[in-house]
Structure 1
Amino acid sequence: MHKIKLFIVASLLFSSALFSTELNWLNDYDAALKQAQKEKKMVYLFIGADVCRWCERFKDMTLSKKHVIKRLNQEYVLLYMSRDRHKIPSKFTTQGVPRHYFLKSDGTIIYEDRGSREVDGFLSLLEEVSLKKE
């Protein structure tokens, strides 16, 4: 019986490690810029709200996909700010969420968009941003 419990626990730990690919969001604007400068990356700022069905839809439908996660982690420092909980700099619009801002490491906005996007639409958005940053 003990071996069965041990096997179940080990299996759960292995499967959770296997599927633990996730996005590591910062919630502090200045810290995100510092990290972006250090890593020579851009910042992806996702502004949402604590109660926002479109934000949740975007997270569930798009930000949960492994290939999206991999691309975002490779190219961007990730910054999530809730208009209900975080001090968002005044240069960013907080109405009409979800909002997407793509920033240089000095905070310059190079692209902005809003709305919940499916995977293909979000990947197209990332391609547009790549063209703008060059």
Structure 2
Amino acid sequence: MKKIVVAALLFVASYAAEAQELVWETNVNKAMEVSNKTKKPMLLFFTGSDWCGWCIRLQKEVLKTPEFAAWAKDNVVLVELDYPRRTPQTPEIKTQNNELQQAFSIQGFPTIYFANGTNKDGKVNFEGLGHTGYVAGGPTAWLAVADGILKKK
């Protein structure tokens, strides 16, 4: 019995450690540095985290799953661009997110853009690779769409 409890605790601890390793940047300049260093595109997640039902559903069904975590570590740099109604944000983050919403012509949430970015002489340029949003069918269906976008690059 003791061995089963120890094994279960080790399994839970390894699962929790894996889930914690997934890092969502909120500063796009920092994310761009990581993206350029690792040669991975950015996944820009435009979300209304505390009010958008489809955003919350996408998080629950896809973005917080072990399948997505494993895929993301190998393929993208994660960036969360949040537009909350109740959660406070710094003025810098609000300004950055509003500018990016305009730059990518975001009309609704959730929207996920895959992009590469460069910062030359203080000017940021993005190369959009494609975009998606909520896809029914869980992580397998969503990752198939994402892989299709990334293969085009």
> Which interval holds the TM-score relative to the shorter structure?
0.7 to 0.9
- State the TM-score, normalizing by the size of structure 2: 0.71
Q: Distance in 1 between matches of 2:67 and 2:132?
A: 21
- Residue 79 of structure 2 is matched in structure 1 by 79
Partner AA of 1:79 in structure 2: V
RMSD: 2.3
- Residue 36 of structure 1 is matched in structure 2 by 35
1:123 aligns with 2:122: no
- Residue 5 of structure 1 is matched in structure 2 by none
1:72-131 residue CA offsets vs partner (Å, 9 max, x unmatched)? 111111001112344322212343111010012433111012235422221111221122
Partner AA of 1:44 in structure 2: L
Q: Gaps spanning 5+ residues in structure 1: where?
A: 1-7
- Residue 122 of structure 2 is matched in structure 1 by none
Q: Distance in 2 between matches of 1:94 and 1:104?
A: 17
CA contact (8 A) 2:135 2:141 kept: no
1:39-63 residue CA offsets vs partner (Å, 9 max, x unmatched)? 1111111110031111111111112
- Residue 109 of structure 1 is matched in structure 2 by 128
Equivalenced residues, count? 126
1:2-58 residue CA offsets vs partner (Å, 9 max, x unmatched)? xxxxxx9x8897454311222210001111111101111111111100311111111
Partner AA of 2:15 in structure 1: F
Q: Distance in 2 between matches of 1:64 and 1:115?
A: 14
Q: Gaps spanning 5+ residues in structure 2: where?
A: 119-125
- Residue 99 of structure 1 is matched in structure 2 by 111
CA contact (8 A) 1:100 1:113 kept: yes
Q: Distance in 1 between matches of 2:142 and 2:78?
A: 15
- Residue 47 of structure 1 is matched in structure 2 by 46
- State the TM-score, normalizing by the size of structure 1: 0.79
- Residue 65 of structure 2 is matched in structure 1 by 65
Q: Distance in 2 between matches of 1:13 and 1:92?
A: 44
Q: Structure 1 or 2: larger helix share? A: 2
SS in 2 for 1:19: helix
Partner AA of 2:105 in structure 1: T
79-88 vs 66-75, greater mean Cα deviation: 79-88
87-96 vs 50-59, greater mean Cα deviation: 87-96
